[in-house]
Amino acid sequence: MNFLTVFLIALGLAMDAFAVALSGGFSAGKVTKRQTLRLAFHFGLFQFLMPILGWAAGLTVQNLIQAYDHWVAFALLAGIGGKMVYESFRQEKNEGRKPDITRGASLVLLSLATSIDALAVGLSLSLLRVRILYPSAVIGVVCFALTAIGFAFGSRLGRLLGRRMELLGGMVLIGIGVRILIEHLA
């Protein structure tokens, strides 16, 4: 498999992570380099590992996962997006405290939700008998880079446009979840 093909696959897989990072940056306010690195590392790591897991599973697990992977991604993204929308309407009593998607359960759930498609790519690559480490490494690195860019850019936009960006960020996450669901059900 040549670099251009792998790179285009990686770009396609990283788009969800980019959109989630962008919307997370909207609501985060000013983000630190550490937060950006933590989010990009986890998203990139999950995008690196999921194709390997999918490849290793091969055909034996494909039918089990395919039946509900879109529902899992939808539930995770809609749940976290719904929480962001809810938080955007709360009174200003928590004005100084911004949500941090780079920690705890939110980080793990978002990392998982944005990398489920990579699992399916790994399954497909196993059918094509493609060695998996090279494509997985490219997928992970591209995801890392786009996540860092999206989170930093979203943070700047969020600080510029204010609290409404948290509402927009939550709506974007819900929209990504709905899009994943529609793509798989159509």
Round to whole Å and give the CA distance between 82 and 77.
8
The alpha carbon of 5 is separated from its chain's Cα centroid by a whole number of angstroms, namely 21
Mean pLDDT of 23-38: 88
**Total number of domains in the chain:** 1
First-to-final CA distance of the chain: 29
Round to whole Å and give the CA distance between 128 and 11.
20
Domain containing 171 equals 3-185
Note whether 171 and 85 are within 8 A (CB): yes
Round to whole Å and give the CA distance between 33 and 2.
33
Note whether 110 and 80 are within 8 A (CB): yes
Which pair of tokens denotes residue 157? 């936009």
The set of residues, in sequence order, having a beta carbon less than 8 Å from that of 160 and lying 6+ positions away, is none
Please give the pLDDT value at position 142.
Answer: 97
Of all residues in the chain, the percent with pLDDT exceeding 70 is 88
Give the number of other Cβ atoms within 10 Å of residue 177's Cβ.
24
**Residues 77-125: pLDDT tens digits?**
787 778 778 877 775 545 555 668 899 988 999 999 889 888 878 887 8
**Residues 122-137: pLDDT tens digits?**
887 887 788 999 999 9
The overall pTM is greater than 0.95: no
Mean pLDDT over the full length of the chain: 83
Round to whole Å and give the CA distance between 65 and 63.
6
Please give the pLDDT value at position 116.
Answer: 86
Round to whole Å and give the CA distance between 30 and 35.
10
DSSP state of 128: T
